[in-house]
Amino acid sequence: MKHLLSAAVLLALFIALPFIADAVGQSSLMILGARMLTYAIAAASLNLILGYGGMVSFGHAAFFGVGAYVVGILAYHAGGDPLLGFIPGTNQMLITLPVAMIVSGLVALVIGALSLRTGGVQFIMITLAFAQMLFFFFVSLTAYGGDDGLIISRTNALFGLNMRNRMTLYFVTLVIAVLFFLVLWRIVHSSFGGILAGLRQNERRMSAMGIPAYRYKLVAFVLSGMGVGLAGALEANLLRFASPDMMHWIKSGDLIIMIILGGVGTFFGPIIGAAAFMLLEFYLAGWTEHWPLILGAILLVVVLGTKGGIGGLISRLTGGRT
Amino acid sequence: MSAILQIEGLVKRFGGLTATDHVTLDVREGEIHALIGPNGAGKSTLINQLCGELVSDEGTIRLAGTDVTQRPETDRIGMGLGRTFQIASLLQESTVRENVGLAVQAHVGHNMRLFDRRMARRDVWTEADAMIAESGLHGRGDTLVSDLSHGEKKQLELIMALAGNPRLLLLDEPMAGLGQFESQRMIEQLGALRGKFSMLLVEHDMDAVYALADRISVLVYGRVIMTGTAEEIRESAEVREAYLGAEEDV
């Protein structure tokens, strides 16, 4: 019941946001809100393995970038030469988003299959290394803009909607985010989700119960990669741009910060964390170029003072158990 | 009586140290077979070899007639092996009910379902609740594991192992750290399970061993020096000499 209330409050806030932005004459807030939603999807996807599964990946930005480049490359080839001579380009969102998720999932399968054979610090470093390899690969990919990134001439089309309209684009993003979180809710509370939580707490015990840890962790890693890929594809639509910077390790760090800010291993924490992070970045960056310094101080206060992030603090203030 | 477990010439070396040295023994169907020995004799290493946590350097392990020496732990569990840990290994952040539920779920299967509702699985929770109700943890289902006493954690270890419906249960010092009353209760519980499946009981508490074991094997410096009944072990000068010293009773 409490979760339902939290979901209703968050949904009401996100529905109200574009109307408030319209009323105060700051339509850029709509894009900010839409980006909050995409980063909420990315952070929640990472939280599936980090918070629920106990796997600290420091390379999830790779999937964010892959998702963005799938949209960019498909748009680049739309109406022109097919990709690799046989894959036609498209700017239809109903195709680009699922393809972005599938490609991100396949990349996650390869990275996960290799990196999950390690654990602890090695796992962190290997995921980081893979992401940086992809970063430098796209930097050197001059056909698609290289270091400068790839400009997407227009936002993906969907059901004939006017996707140039910010309000439309915002609500499309919101609907996709709601669908994503409904699916994520089911996964977290499924039989699979229970096994994943068990593996985080005690992998040795789970193995002694006959659970092949590697297989379950790999499935979670792939699902997580697909979610982050979806977020990257949405971000590419919002910015009409895909860049190697989207898969830089700093972006992976941002996702982890969002999770810590909101609450590790909680369902709504990454949404709150992503929103807080984007708001802080938006306002602090307008105030000083040294905004990461202030963000760092805020992160310290949150980690040391809230016991469970902003989400945990809200939960305690409203009388719940974190 | 046929053997559920047959170990032949099992060896595990850690560098220059031979932890288990050509161990050969068998556990019969329905039998409680105790494995005793001084600290460092290789008992826990043997348990870890049997369940597949440690890869053996030599020898074979047969479970119900099938060679499982090269099989992973999960395969062996699937073939009916269960275990408890010397130091309780549980899901500390979860409740008793969640721990038992997960153990039942792991055994029942369908663990890869991504979109079902785990808490609505009657096949899991009916069984889990029944197991808790029949155990010494009755009424403690909603207690966090981190809030349980040592004895309760040992109880939970046993319940979770039983949830796997084992054919052979490896018990690694189930009495360790228990008080007299709790030990007695554990002995009674294990005794009540006699005949339902086989048990390999690693234990230092000789009262428990004598009360429960059908046969006893003595492991010293990684080698099995004798296997016999409680009476035979008690009267063996070799065991007394090797295990505790000639002046002490085993």
Residues of B in contact with A51 (CB under 8 A): none
> Residue A216 and residue B111: Cβ atoms within 8 Å?
yes
Q: Is the dihedral of CA B120, B121, B123, B124 positive or negative?
A: negative
For chain A, the structural domain boundaries read 2-317
Out of A42-46, A178-182, A303-307, which region has the weakest mean confidence (pLDDT)? A303-307
From residue B57, how far is each of B5, B17, B72, B200, B244 by CA, in Å? 18, 12, 15, 21, 29
| Mean pLDDT, residues A117-139 | 95
| Mean pLDDT, residues A180-200 | 96
Residues of B in contact with A195 (CB under 8 A): 102, 105-106, 111
| Mean pLDDT, residues A272-284 | 91
- In the beta sheet, which residues pair with residue B62? B6, B67
Token representation of residue A313 = 């603090």
Residue in B closest to A207 by C-alpha: B74
ipTM comes to 0.90
- CB of B164 within 8 Å of any CB in chain A? yes
Predicted local confidence at residue B215, as pLDDT? 95
| Mean pLDDT, residues A131-148 | 94
Amino acid type, B178: L
From residue A147, how far is each of A122, A150, B141, B249 by CA, in Å? 29, 9, 57, 79
Element containing residue B11 per DSSP (H, E): strand B3-14
Residue in B closest to A198 by C-alpha: B91
Given the DSSP bridges, would you call strands B58-63 and B66-67 parallel, antiparallel or unpaired?
antiparallel
The answer on pLDDT for A99 being more than 70 is yes
The answer on pLDDT for A169 being more than 70 is yes
Residue in A closest to B85 by C-alpha: A205
From residue B68, how far is each of A205, A248, B5, B40, B222 by CA, in Å? 20, 46, 10, 25, 21
Q: In this complex, which of A201, A210, A219 lies closest to B164 when CB atoms are compared? A: A210
The answer on pLDDT for B246 being more than 80 is no
| Mean pLDDT, residues A71-82 | 90
Fold entry, domain A2-317 = ABC transporter involved in vitamin B12 uptake, BtuC (1.10.3470)
Residues of B in contact with A206 (CB under 8 A): 102, 106
Alpha carbon B151 to its chain centroid, in Å, reads 16
Amino acid type, B166: P
The answer on pLDDT for A211 being more than 70 is yes
Angle between helices A2-23 and A166-188 (to 10 degrees): 170
> Residue B103 and residue A209: Cβ atoms within 8 Å?
yes
Predicted local confidence at residue B245, as pLDDT? 60
- CB of A192 within 8 Å of any CB in chain B? yes
How far apart are alpha carbons A273 and A46 in whole angstroms? 13
Element containing residue A40 per DSSP (H, E): helix A28-47
Q: Label residue A304 by pLDDT band (50, 70, 90).
A: confident
- CB of B103 within 8 Å of any CB in chain A? yes
Predicted local confidence at residue A320, as pLDDT? 60
> Residue B111 and residue A211: Cβ atoms within 8 Å?
yes
* Domains present along chain B, CATH in parentheses: 1-80+166-250 (3.40.50.300), 92-165 (no CATH)
Q: Label residue B244 by pLDDT band (50, 70, 90).
A: low
Q: Label residue A322 by pLDDT band (50, 70, 90).
A: very low
> Residue B91 and residue A210: Cβ atoms within 8 Å?
no
How far apart are alpha carbons B42 and B12 in whole angstroms? 9
Q: Label residue A318 by pLDDT band (50, 70, 90).
A: confident
The answer on pLDDT for B1 being more than 90 is no
Predicted local confidence at residue A205, as pLDDT? 95
How far apart are alpha carbons A177 and A40 in whole angstroms? 8
The answer on pLDDT for B248 being more than 60 is no
Predicted local confidence at residue B250, as pLDDT? 52
Predicted local confidence at residue A319, as pLDDT? 66
Predicted local confidence at residue B247, as pLDDT? 46
Residues of A in contact with B85 (CB under 8 A): 204-205, 208
From residue A93, how far is each of A99, A101, A159, A230, B46 by CA, in Å? 10, 12, 9, 11, 58
Chain A: nearest CA to B204, how far in angstroms?
Answer: 23
pLDDT digits (tens, 9 = 90+) for B198-224: 999 999 899 999 999 999 999 999 999
The 8-class DSSP code of residue A249 comes to H
Residues 69-88 of B with CB under 8 A from A: 72-74, 77-78, 83, 85
pLDDT digits (tens, 9 = 90+) for B71-129: 999 999 999 999 999 999 999 999 999 999 999 999 998 889 999 998 989 999 999 99
What is the count of residue pairs from A and B with beta carbons less than 8 Å apart? 91
Q: In this complex, which of A195, A209, A223 lies closest to B164 when CB atoms are compared? A: A209
Residues of B in contact with A189 (CB under 8 A): 117-119
Q: Is the dihedral of CA A137, A138, A144, A147 positive or negative?
A: negative
